[in-house]
Amino acid sequence: MKLFALFFVAGLTGASFWFWQRIPPSPVAVELQGALPAQTALQTTPRAQFTPTTRKGYYNMDVVGDFTLPSTKKLIFNGAGRNLHVQQDRTKIFRRGFSAVDKSRMVPNVEIWGGDYPPAGWKSQLSIPQRSLIIYQNYFRDSFGIAWAADNSKANEVIYKSASTEIGRKDLQIAAELRGNCVGFGDCPAEWKNTFGTVVLDIENNYGIRHEQEQANLYTFMMKTMKENASPQTEIGSIDPIPHNNYGYCRASDYMAPIDANCRLPAKHTATSRERGMPDDIVGKSYDDYADFYMPGTYFLYPELDYSARHVLDGDRHWLAGQLGEQEVSRKLSPKKRIAWLWLFNTQNGDFPNSAKAEHPAPPVVAEGLAIFYWFTGAYGGLFWDDHNELTPDQPSPADPMQQGTGNDRNYACYEHYIHGLWRLFKHHSDLFNGKESYLNEETECSYDGGKTWYKYNANQLKTRDLPFVRAIVNGNQILVAATKAYAGPKDRTRVMLRYVQDGYNFYTTLNLKGDEIYLGRATMK
């Protein structure tokens, strides 16, 4: 049944109006029948003991020991400061939870050849799954003069294929030239193919679309061309389109949104597409037919990192609800793999307080929590990103105020807390991520009144009710639980119960949360 609510809006201009908004139904309370069953205690996952760095432009990867990401997951390093440890141990990032590294962070002449052609017999020290490439807008706009990359209103001007083979040509067939990347790894097959393990498009021209059909045609052609010129191991996706963009808010209405039409809009000829070389073989196909993964996710803005701000109204920003909501909504709209962009500093947005420049790191709990809770959504992977590459520690602050608190002038202890979160999850529970696990997400059932009534809440409902967040993964008779009372003070104490009463199990347990600490625990269900 469709539900609607009537809202009154007063704009900044003083204008006011009424509007109808579609909202999801409220969750139904399930009352416990009979006495509360015996409970099973969770075994709490250990924490590593370390002193976070206070140095600027520096972080220590050795706050934890060695561990690896499960083979069923992917975490790409495109962060800052690989240069801090790469000379000591080039492979260390692969023993700190990362499974791949972006081209811009690779070691020249060891992981990727720095010149035109490597010597005979030379091969990269990286396997195909360990290689990742981000293709930004300027690849198309600046290198090849395709103006559409920066201005989608020019979609009806793009040439698909042309007879020219000159480097300076301006057609979208240049996507096929990515097959030449195999040269830099020394592993080109007889017929050249792109041998990156992951290719991510970051064109960001899918907003305010002027020619929707042309846009759909171009993205479909581009993805098909790239797939045809890549190795069978290469996975390709794009920052957009995605099934739904919550923009980090996690509103009730997000859960009622349909999939973005641009994901599945079939290609078809327009008045000028044939003369511009659009092939017939993409007609009826869509971006969704060729993309290997979607990239729903959100960067932080300062408000969700601000513990003094309000975080309980439908339109409020909330660090955990924002992250979980993006995944909860998208996973229901599409079964495709999901890889989110992850950044541990606030993204720049002058419309929000203290967000004009990327100077605020994620607080320790937020950094650790992102490393744990994100994987409880069933996401396939993450792209760990930063706007800075090499770090030089202990530098004086820049004279320019706009550069202060950015780049080398940041404290990167948030990286240590993030790696610690990965270590807690995957060092101790990697066996649960074998492809047989079930992610409960908003089907996680909890009680907030000592077991009398039980609810299944999505991230928005937890946010707006100011309740603790609890999420669980089940694999056979094993249950893994993550929980936190976001934004709670250090002296606050919160009690919540969890149960799993499916598949023949009758599992009940109680969690006692301290402050906003990230709890992680596991039990064997009977």
For 314-347, the pLDDT digits (tens) are 999 999 999 999 999 999 999 999 999 999 999 9
Q: Are 101 and 82 in contact (CB under 8 A)?
A: yes
Residue 17 confidence class, pLDDT cut points 50, 70, 90 = very low
**Torsion-angle region of 268 (φ positive above 0: left; ψ -120 to 50: alpha; else: beta):** beta
Question: What confidence score (pLDDT) does residue 16 get?
Answer: 34
Query: Could you tell me how many residues make up the chain?
Result: 526
| Phi, then psi, of 112 in degrees rounded to 5 | -150, 140
* pLDDT tens-digit map of 281-299: 999 999 999 999 999 999 9
Q: Are 174 and 159 in contact (CB under 8 A)?
A: no
CA dist., res. 408 & res. 58, Å (int): 8
Residue among 131, 87, 127, 85 nearest 106 (CA): 131
- For 49-76, what is the mean pLDDT? 98
Q: Is residue 31 over pLDDT 90?
A: no
- Partners of 23 in the beta sheet? 3
- For 14-23, what is the mean pLDDT? 39
* pLDDT tens-digit map of 240-261: 999 999 999 999 999 999 999 9
CA dist., res. 327 & res. 459, Å (int): 10
Token pair for residue 17? 């109006």
* pLDDT tens-digit map of 170-181: 778 888 889 999
The structure's pTM equals 0.93
Q: Is residue 164 over pLDDT 90?
A: no
Query: For the stretch 418-443, what's the b/e string if a residue is b when 16 or more beta carbons lie within 10 angstroms of its beta carbon?
Result: bbbbbbbbbbbbbebbeeebebbbbe
Maximal CA-CA distance, the chain: 78
Q: Find where tokens 């260390």 sit.
A: 92
Token pair for residue 187? 């592993």
What are the C-alpha distances in Å from 303 to residues 210, 318, 347, 351, 465? 32, 8, 11, 11, 19
Q: Which H/E stretch holds residue 338?
A: strand 337-342
Q: Is residue 237 over pLDDT 90?
A: yes
Residue among 518, 457, 425 nearest 75 (CA): 425
Question: What confidence score (pLDDT) does residue 7 get?
Answer: 34
Compute the half-sphere exposure of residue 63: CA atoms within 13 Å on the CB side of its CA.
26
Kindly report the average pLDDT of the chain as a whole number: 92
| Phi, then psi, of 75 in degrees rounded to 5 | -135, 110
* pLDDT tens-digit map of 399-441: 999 999 999 999 999 999 999 999 999 999 999 999 999 999 9
